[in-house]
Structure 1
Amino acid sequence: MAGIELPGSDGVSARRQRNIALLVAGTFFMEILDGTILTTAAPQIGRAFRVASVDVGVAITAYLLTLAVLIPLSGWITARFGARRVFLTAIAVFTVASILCAASPSLLLLTLSRVLQGVGGAMMVPVGRLAVLRVTKKGDLIRAIALLTWPALAAPVIAPLAGGVITTYASWHWIFLINVPLGLIAFLAARVLVPGEEPLRPAALDWAGLWLSCSALGLLVLAASLLSAPVPDWPALLALASAGAALGGLAVRHLRRARHPLLDLDALRIETFRVAHAGGWMFRLTISAVPFLLPLLFQDAFGWSPVLAGSLVLALFAGNMAIKPVTTPLLRRFGFRRVLLSATTGAALSMALAALLTVETPVVVIVVLMVFSGVVRSVGFTGYNTIAFADVGHGQMTAANTLASTLQQLAAGFGIACGAIALRAGSALVGADALGALGAGSEAFRIAFLLLALLTVPAVVEAWRLSPGAGENIRPSRQG
Structure 2
Amino acid sequence: MNATPSHQALQPEFRLLVFLVSIGFFMQGLDTTIVNTAIPAMAVNLGEDPLQMHSVVVAYVLSVAACIPLSGWLADRFGVRNTYFSAIVIFTLASLGCGLANSLNELLVYRVIQGIGGALLLPIGRLAMLKVIPRTQFLSAMSLMSLAGLMGPLIGPTLGGWMVEVATWHWIFLINIPMGLLGCLITVKAMPNVTEPTVKSFDFSGFILLVIAMVGVSMGIEKFSSPHQSLWWSTGLITAGLMAAAIYAYHAHSHQNALFRSKLFSNQIYAIGIVGNFFARLGGNAMPFLIPLMLQVAFGFEPFITGLLMIPTVLGSLASKPVIRQIIQRYGYRNVLLVNTLLVGACIASFALTTADTPIWLRALHFFIFGMLNSLQFVSMNTLTLKDLPQQDASSGNSFLSMIMMVSMSIGVALAGTLVNVFTAYYGADHITTAFHSTLIFLGCINIITACIFSRIPRNTPV
Asked if the contact 1:272–1:388 (Cα under 8 Å) also holds between the matched residues in 2, the reply is yes
| Counterpart in the other structure of 1:457 | 448
Q: Tell me the distance in 1 between the aligned counterparts of 2:168 and 2:340.
A: 37
Aligned partner of 2:117: which letter? Answer: G
| Counterpart in the other structure of 1:395 | 392
Give 2:410's match in structure 1, choosing from 410, 413, 420.
413
1:422-441, CA deviations, whole angstroms, 9 ceiling, x for partnerless residues? Answer: 2112212212x34xxxxx41
The correspondence of residues 18-417 of structure 1 with structure 2, limited to 5 A, is: 18-198=15-195, 200-230=197-227, 232-417=229-414
Asked if the contact 1:73–1:262 (Cα under 8 Å) also holds between the matched residues in 2, the reply is no
| Counterpart in the other structure of 1:3 | none
199-208 vs 374-383, which moves further: 199-208
**Change in 2 beyond 3 A, CA 1:244/1:198:** closer
Give 1:446's match in structure 2, choosing from 431, 437, 450.
437
**Change in 2 beyond 3 A, CA 1:51/1:272:** same
SS in 2 for 1:323: helix
Aligned partner of 1:111: which letter? Answer: L
Asked if the contact 1:98–1:179 (Cα under 8 Å) also holds between the matched residues in 2, the reply is yes
Structure 1 stretches (4+) deviating beyond 4 angstroms? none
| Counterpart in the other structure of 1:6 | none
Q: Tell me the distance in 2 between the aligned counterparts of 1:35 and 1:363.
A: 25
- Alignment TM-score, normalising by the size of structure 2: 0.95
Q: Tell me the distance in 2 between the aligned counterparts of 1:319 and 1:188.
A: 36
Aligned partner of 2:150: which letter? Answer: L
SS in 2 for 1:261: coil
SS in 1 for 2:388: coil
| Counterpart in the other structure of 1:8 | none
Q: CA deviation at 1:217?
A: 2.0
Asked if the contact 2:96–2:174 (Cα under 8 Å) also holds between the matched residues in 1, the reply is yes
1:147-166, CA deviations, whole angstroms, 9 ceiling, x for partnerless residues? Answer: 22223322222211111111
Q: Tell me the distance in 2 between the aligned counterparts of 1:191 and 1:285.
A: 39
Asked if the contact 2:281–2:412 (Cα under 8 Å) also holds between the matched residues in 1, the reply is yes
Aligned partner of 1:248: which letter? Answer: A
| Structure number having the greater helix percentage | 2
Asked if the contact 1:27–1:186 (Cα under 8 Å) also holds between the matched residues in 2, the reply is yes
Q: Tell me the distance in 1 between the aligned counterparts of 2:263 and 2:311.
A: 38
Q: CA deviation at 1:39?
A: 0.7
Q: CA deviation at 1:280?
A: 2.2
Q: CA deviation at 1:231?
A: 6.6
| Counterpart in the other structure of 2:5 | none
Q: CA deviation at 1:216?
A: 2.4
**Change in 2 beyond 3 A, CA 1:420/1:139:** same
Aligned partner of 1:461: which letter? Answer: C
Q: Tell me the distance in 2 between the aligned counterparts of 1:338 and 1:198.
A: 44
Asked if the contact 1:81–1:200 (Cα under 8 Å) also holds between the matched residues in 2, the reply is no
**Change in 2 beyond 3 A, CA 1:200/1:228:** farther
Q: Tell me the distance in 2 between the aligned counterparts of 1:265 and 1:458.
A: 26
Unaligned runs of 5+ in 2: 1-9
| Counterpart in the other structure of 1:9 | none
Q: Tell me the distance in 2 between the aligned counterparts of 1:188 and 1:141.
A: 24
SS in 1 for 2:335: helix
237-246 vs 185-194, which moves further: 237-246
Aligned partner of 2:53: which letter? Answer: V
Q: Tell me the distance in 1 between the aligned counterparts of 2:45 and 2:455.
A: 46
Unaligned runs of 5+ in 1: 1-12, 435-439, 476-480
Q: CA deviation at 1:59?
A: 1.5
Asked if the contact 1:280–1:459 (Cα under 8 Å) also holds between the matched residues in 2, the reply is no
1:273-330, CA deviations, whole angstroms, 9 ceiling, x for partnerless residues? Answer: 1222112211111100111111011101111111111111211121111111111111
Q: CA deviation at 1:252?
A: 2.0
Asked if the contact 1:264–1:403 (Cα under 8 Å) also holds between the matched residues in 2, the reply is no
Q: Tell me the distance in 2 between the aligned counterparts of 1:325 and 1:143.
A: 17
40-49 vs 414-423, which moves further: 414-423
Q: Tell me the distance in 2 between the aligned counterparts of 1:197 and 1:269.
A: 33
Q: Tell me the distance in 1 between the aligned counterparts of 2:266 and 2:448.
A: 23
45-54 vs 192-201, which moves further: 192-201
Aligned partner of 2:388: which letter? Answer: D
Q: Tell me the distance in 1 between the aligned counterparts of 2:263 and 2:325.
A: 28
Aligned partner of 2:95: which letter? Answer: S
1:125-175, CA deviations, whole angstroms, 9 ceiling, x for partnerless residues? Answer: 111111122221222111111122223322222211111111111111011
Number of residue equivalences: 454
Q: CA deviation at 1:461?
A: 1.4
Q: CA deviation at 1:183?
A: 0.4
Q: Tell me the distance in 2 between the aligned counterparts of 1:463 and 1:245.
A: 24
Q: CA deviation at 1:241?
A: 1.7
- Alignment TM-score, normalising by the size of structure 1: 0.91
Q: CA deviation at 1:198?
A: 4.8
SS in 2 for 1:456: helix
Aligned partner of 1:457: which letter? Answer: I
1:343-374, CA deviations, whole angstroms, 9 ceiling, x for partnerless residues? Answer: 11111111111011111111111111111111
